Structure 1
Amino acid sequence: MPRPLLALPARPRTARPVRRPWRAVAGVAVLAATLAGCGAVRLDTPPAEPPRPDAVEVQRQEEAILSAAIADVARITDAGADVAGVLARVAGNAEAHAGALGGVWEPWPGGAPEGARTPEPVETPSATATPEGVLGLLVQGAASAREAALTSTDDDLAAALAAVSLSRADDARRLAAALGVSADLPAGAPLTPEALLTHGPGEATVRLLDSARFAVETVAARTDGAARERAWERAEHLQALVDAALAAGAPDERSAAYDLGLVAQNAAAGPDAEPGADGAMGSHAGADGSGIPDADATANSSESPDDDVAADGFGVGDLTAEQAVAVGAERSLLELWVANIGRTPAGERESVLAAAEHAAVQLRAWGGELPALPGLG
């Protein structure tokens, strides 16, 4: 039986360092070497050596090393003001990636004991300290983290690597745009109804998809031109997913309408946003029934708005009300797909990861920002 896709918890899961259980074994190796030096072990005891990493640890270590390399090169690269701002973001994100992956493991941080066998060092990616060199590392890193996310047998690591890949790809696009060049990066693809059904969607998934559908459909009704077209296309796609799930027997827990008041907080902050009581989007419904609050309604509310929410309506920062709703909807979808990377068996994650990539691209197209670890907080 396939494991069902589940909607996200009330608060998105927070990124945490990927566990490395075999590190304790390394400590035993250090102790053995120390005892050997004190004469407490027979003289013919073989020199201590770190444990051999398994495939999961090899993936983790390689991506942690690449994250550290990206951060180091980005920090020392000189560039004009516009590009320098992007490089600073790249370095900060890369440091967050390395931390989430557990950091770079060193077999003997304080120096190898006498007679200890040191392992062959993992090759550190090299790049010239130029913006173009950093871009090359980002493109390489997005691809390598993506491949590792698809194949890792560790659920937590797979989700973390997916988030790292999405972030590196976004940073690469930003840097390429600042440099006026192109970068070959995956744009992803919407999840097909057939792919959704292979995962056995449950009622929570149906409700989240339907609330996102309602959000972008509302945006389509309040916009025109290319924005309206993009929103309608997304709404139709999400409706097809909901219809397929219900036809396959998923419980129908949809609402006729969803409040969208708190979606702006989701667009602005992501990890710290609280969903509405209905598990979908928010609270302040507009007077026109669209779910997007009117300027007067927001201004007269007794609730204190989030600092990032504009006082002249429901915009967030530089986003209009419609953009904020669209960004919030795409962020909820992004979180859903990334969360399910780890719930999907290795070798069967391509369609889910592609859906996460597509949601990330859509989020940015609406003017939203990706955090350092998209989908994980």
Structure 2
Amino acid sequence: MNAIQHPSSAATPPAGDEPFEAVRSRLDNYLKSELVPLEKSLSIGYEDQFERSLIHGIWRRCRELGFYGAQLPRQLGGLGLTIEQHCLLKEDAAASGAILFPHVLGDWGGPSRIGSLVKYLTPEQKSHYLDPVVAGEKGICFAMTEPQSGSDAASIQTRAVRDGDHYIVNGHKHFITASTFADAAILMCVTDPDAGSQGISALFVDLNAPGVRLDFDCIPMSCQFVDADIIFENVRVPVSHLIGEEGQGFRIAMNRINTNRLLHCPTMLGLARQAYEHALAYAQQRKQFGGAISRFQAIQHMLADMATNLYACEHMILATARAADAGQDIRTEASMCKLFVSERCFDIADKAVQIHGNVGVTHNHPVEFIFRRLRMYRVVTGTSEIQRNTIAKGILDKA
């Protein structure tokens, strides 16, 4: 039993005809009885490059079990989970110790990348892009960040110039998550350079189209082969691949980002919980000066701070998720969560490394890897500084 109990989700509404706790239990069983043993049997490490056949097999298996895209409405093949339920499953997956956990719910290249776009899609786009992604047959990524345009999304330079029934696309997208598993990209590009943010549009672009290439020169500090740059050189994209209308791309991106910032938080929390549990177990078994190091007050205080941060982060995430489920605007609160959870979870990982001592700074030890992974979250999906800007704007607008 975990030293810190998960909050009860008994009051959460059921997912379709199946109680949510049954879904959660089934996920736990899959992670512990199938995915982790599979990884061990294949000697999979944190920094390995994974064959597409392996990844697609996990997508299909999780689709069979109902996890892959579980947050989607039932009419799209999901379980119709609430945002709160989705957060709980994401934390469980990240805390499991499975290396490939982001593929279980479709976070890396799956339905999480495209599900929010349903209302904008044409029937042709739905059948060619959405349906195969939901089925675990194809992967997709969201391509917005550029080398000179990160948090300032309105300053993107990738251009799409109309040429009859096509757009001609040129540009460079940087550090695009899940691009290594993707067959297509949801591309944010400029169609009207004189209209500011109103001149940004969204296109589906097949990554096997002539003129598209992936560049893997920029490897993140996690050393995982998940992110790549995408280069577009005179790529012809049919006008029928336009998502919504011209000029809607920035709004589409911002609507996705607010909830996406919240949904990163349970992943951070699950990783931090995993680091905490490693530290707690190590402190009780590591012997120094005639006894376990857990008897030292310095170690006890670190564990107390870690447990307190886990408790605060979890309840902050769930409170914000409930507000989102109630239809409230969570722009400010989502940024508060991203800021607080990323900072506190990294602190938990830092303390876990400290408690482990020389073991904790050994390359690819679980707490060492989690430390690196959680440090990235203070940057990705908007830096802590950008979150503070958003929070300040939100509270001053209400003053």
TM-score (norm 2): 0.25
State the structure with bigger RCO (CA 8 A, min sep 6), 1 or 2. Answer: 1
Structure with max Cα Rg:
1
TM-score (norm 1): 0.27
